[in-house]
Amino acid sequence: MELSVSVERWPIAGAFRISRGAKTEAEVVVATLTDGPHRGRGECVPYRRYGESVEGVVAAIERLRPAIEAGLDRIALQSALPAGAARNALDCAFWDLAAKQSGRRVAELAGLPLPRPVLTAYTLSLDAPEAMAAAARAAAKPLLKLKLGGDGEDFARVAAVHAAAPEARLIVDANEAWSPAETPALAARLAGLGVSLIEQPVPAGADEALDAATCPIALCADESCHTVTDLPRLAGHYSHVNVKLDKAGGLTAAIELAKGARELGLGLMVGCMVGTSLAMAPAALLAPLADFTDLDGPLLLARDREPGLRYDGALLHPGVAALWG
């Protein structure tokens, strides 16, 4: 087995802004495993919010080179690295390699439902209310995700988008920017504006202040939910969890997280960082299990891989084997 690691930079169309800042490119790490004629790839997006850096993720993967070349497999990988971006890249590379070696798709190997076209949310970056309204009109998508800022203008932003796209269902994502005190009242005000889901309104660690049973809008944990071990403390405070492969540490752990959430009666969103189709393809295998799909990363880029995933408007189609899996 041979391992190679590369860093790639993909320009974003314009800028991507959330409450914590803005960026103009997606910096990703790609791990490639080669075994004879077969090659498997996995892409991850290191995230500073979780203490990750591109350099740190590359170093973490490189430290496993001797073990991988000596025979470490996907199962052993789960204990060799903690949850996070580095393990995600390697885990997805192992799955892709297994698919190429066996001639079977990863969905079949993993016992997942066969992938089908799914509706994905389209994300509007944090901006002034009138700018987000204009972006909503231009996007013309049936499911919009709004990045919010916790700066006193969030209700105005959602109201402006709802007026510009009244038929669209809305997901609002505060990225931990609201306080526990303001969240219930703001949720009540948003209930009449087409909002179906509020994602991570409060800082991770303040979750106990939330009561999913009394909130008029479904609440989804994102920054608070990484792996299956997080679920017991989140149940009751959230109605949904956002499963992201970069947080969970790969498709293997994400499947465990999704199944664990369902066993506790929690709804699912499958989400992503801003990356290419190589990162979206494994996550898309979880879409048939989810209530909400947010895999629009390639739509936010100025260009994507070839071949990439096919999007027809808001409809995301299953990936081809030449891309992944």
Both 161 and 261 in one domain: the answer is yes
DSSP string, 35-54: ETTEEEEEEE---GGGT--H
Residue that terminates a domain, selected from 75, 103, 131: 103
Residue that terminates a domain, selected from 103, 138, 155: 103
Assess whether pLDDT exceeds 90 at residue 20.
no
Both 193 and 45 in one domain: the answer is no
Spatial distance between the Cα atoms of 130 and 307, rounded to a whole number of angstroms: 36
- Extract the runs of DSSP E, i.e. beta strands, from 93-229: 118-119, 122-124, 143-147, 169-173, 195-199, 218-221
The residue whose two tokens read 């269902």 is 169
Spatial distance between the Cα atoms of 274 and 222, rounded to a whole number of angstroms: 15
Q: Confirm whether 154 is domain-assigned.
A: yes
Q: Confirm whether 110 is domain-assigned.
A: no
Both 263 and 298 in one domain: the answer is yes
Residue that terminates a domain, selected from 103, 130, 157: 103
Both 275 and 154 in one domain: the answer is yes
CATH number at residue 41: 3.30.390.10
Q: Confirm whether 108 is domain-assigned.
A: no
Both 61 and 164 in one domain: the answer is no
Both 207 and 252 in one domain: the answer is yes
Q: Confirm whether 325 is domain-assigned.
A: no
Both 36 and 167 in one domain: the answer is no
pLDDT digits (tens, 9 = 90+) for 195-246: 999 999 999 999 999 999 999 999 999 999 999 999 999 999 999 999 999 9
pLDDT digits (tens, 9 = 90+) for 64-93: 999 999 999 999 999 999 999 999 999 999
At 163, the amino acid letter reads: A
> Tokens for 32?
């490639």
Assess whether pLDDT exceeds 90 at residue 61.
yes
Answer for the pair 200, 176: CB distance below 8 angstroms, yes or no.
yes
> Tokens for 119?
């509706």
Q: How far apart are the first and last CA of the chain?
A: 18
pLDDT digits (tens, 9 = 90+) for 129-180: 999 999 999 999 999 999 999 999 999 999 999 999 999 999 999 999 999 9
Both 127 and 71 in one domain: the answer is no
Domain count, the chain: 2
- For residue 290, what is the DSSP state? -
Average pLDDT over the chain reads: 97
Both 70 and 195 in one domain: the answer is no
Residues annotated as catalytic are 147, 244
> Tokens for 97?
């390699």
Both 182 and 50 in one domain: the answer is no
CATH number at residue 284: 3.20.20.120
Assess whether pLDDT exceeds 90 at residue 19.
no
Three-class SS state of 206: coil
Average pLDDT over residues 38-51: 97
Q: Confirm whether 79 is domain-assigned.
A: yes
The domain of 216 spans 118-316
Q: Compute CA 203 distance to the chain's CA centroid, rounded to the nearest angstrom.
A: 18
Both 254 and 153 in one domain: the answer is yes
Residues in the chain: 325
The residue whose two tokens read 């179906």 is 196
Q: Confirm whether 12 is domain-assigned.
A: yes
Both 137 and 72 in one domain: the answer is no
pLDDT at 227: 98
- 58 pLDDT band, cuts 50/70/90, is very high
Residue 197: CB atoms within 10 A of its CB come to 24
> Tokens for 27?
């910096």
